[in-house]
Structure 1
């Protein structure tokens, strides 16, 4: 191969910063229609698609990332609002995977709203972090004074069944719930570097390979406190932050153990309306 041919071949290899990246957006709002809820506005673009299974009262939306996962430079943006008097449940078709990033970070921005008298449930399936993952995730929810919310964000730290070890990971996560323009719940998590060693620390994870953060805003929050505490394993805890605000954090050794503890909790708080995709 001549020098000219080698230079020409090298020029055809895409650099990390110009490789094709996944982009996707969702814009969804709901409204009441008689005794049921209906889609008011829907727009998707890029790698995001949505399925709508039949539901008795709520609009149930299953969000699909057709790119098959996230890596450095990918960007997803979700906007969804439960309109006044309607019910909206959002979930995902399967666990979202965050793969090794050769450059940049993956970004997921989610903005949710629940208007007067509405119910919003944000129940994505697990987020799985792979070795080398780089993810910046932001979630904000804006609630009306009497809106109800059930929010759960499960995270899996690598595939323990595959013997995967997370030695180089960056995960920056923020959850913000606002009500009537004032902060109701703010949570931040920053994990970086040798995640396996970090999560092994007793004060942080005690060797956990999975976790979930859950927020429940509803008039019956206080009544749910006792039953939920009775359902908690020793690696979980639930607190009543306000009369209508419950916050739960649960650690588990792996995804299977996490689901065994989490599913009964979600069934209770969702009144047995957990999306079918969670059962598959």
Structure 2
């Protein structure tokens, strides 16, 4: 007798592994220097603290190696009254092709009176097919100082990569004493390369950086910064102590060529060493 063959049981569909990371850092003033007050990290996000830095310097590391659909990263940082904190990244971040949903990155910065916070991440590199939503919110007390930069590279020029199906939604919101100080939104969906090629958008630029500098000497830096900018860059004052700047460049190399001298100037030559490796 021949027994009927039973169909093999269907293999369970396993969800693609997702990366999650959470980090919170708080620093306080300790005499003439600054010290870590609280630090907590979980998942694929952690920080290293180089010695010898002025104030507290933290190098954020994404141990997942990049961001793809479904990933979630959240970072919050607080600089207490009179403290100084610099936040950077170990290397360029990468937003890879997404096959399932959005990757999300949320950053919250809080700067107390007479405190200084430098938010200086290295470049975000967007890969074709990526889907990334990123949000940064900073609150400043009166007398707080902030230097913030967000460089973005639209595809790897050396690899001939063209962003034809990328999605990138980016938002920066700064508030001082409860009032909006700076609001910026960037949204790309679909053929990013075609959008960037428009004369009024980026003149086929492949990299961009947005910068905000909030400090009493902001106005004094404006002439020198304008002199250092390429024809595809611009800087202006929103208020006497709020300087904003944007650069569009052909690629990451040319972006850094113009950006680094400006960051050196505004950071008083304290740009993190990881930027020069």
TM-score of the pair, normalised by structure 1? 0.96
Identify the match of residue 4 of structure 1 among 2, 7, 21.
Answer: 7
1:84 and 1:192, CA in 2 relative to 1: closer, same or farther beyond 3 A?
A: same
CA displacement at 1:49 relative to structure 2: 1.2
1:163 and 1:217, CA in 2 relative to 1: closer, same or farther beyond 3 A?
A: same
Task: Confirm or deny that 1:51 pairs with 2:48.
Answer: yes
* Equivalent in the alignment of 2:78: 81
Which has more helix, going by share of residues? 1
RMSD, aligned CA: 1.0
SS in 1 for 2:7: helix
1:23 and 1:56, CA in 2 relative to 1: closer, same or farther beyond 3 A?
A: closer
Count of residues paired in the alignment:
273
1:257 and 1:180, CA in 2 relative to 1: closer, same or farther beyond 3 A?
A: same
SS in 2 for 1:174: strand
CA displacement at 1:55 relative to structure 2: 3.3
* Equivalent in the alignment of 1:92: 89
* Equivalent in the alignment of 2:254: 257
CA distance in 2, matches of 1:138, 1:265: 24
1:56 and 1:63, CA in 2 relative to 1: closer, same or farther beyond 3 A?
A: closer
SS in 2 for 1:205: coil
SS in 2 for 1:176: strand
* Equivalent in the alignment of 1:164: 161
CA distance in 2, matches of 1:196, 1:169: 9
For residues 78-134 of structure 1, what are the alpha-carbon distances to aligned partners after superposition, in whole Å with 9 as ceiling and x for unaligned?
000111110000000000000000011000000001001100000000000001000
CA displacement at 1:57 relative to structure 2: 2.9
Task: Confirm or deny that 1:243 pairs with 2:240.
Answer: yes
Identify the match of residue 225 of structure 1 among 209, 222, 227.
Answer: 222
For residues 223-254 of structure 1, what are the alpha-carbon distances to aligned partners after superposition, in whole Å with 9 as ceiling and x for unaligned?
00111111111110000110000000000000
Residue pair 1:156, 1:255 contacting (<8 A) in 2 also = yes
CA distance in 1, matches of 2:21, 2:97: 19
CA distance in 1, matches of 2:12, 2:63: 27
CA displacement at 1:64 relative to structure 2: 0.1
* Equivalent in the alignment of 2:39: 42
CA displacement at 1:45 relative to structure 2: 0.3
Residue pair 1:27, 1:42 contacting (<8 A) in 2 also = yes
TM-score of the pair, normalised by structure 2? 0.97
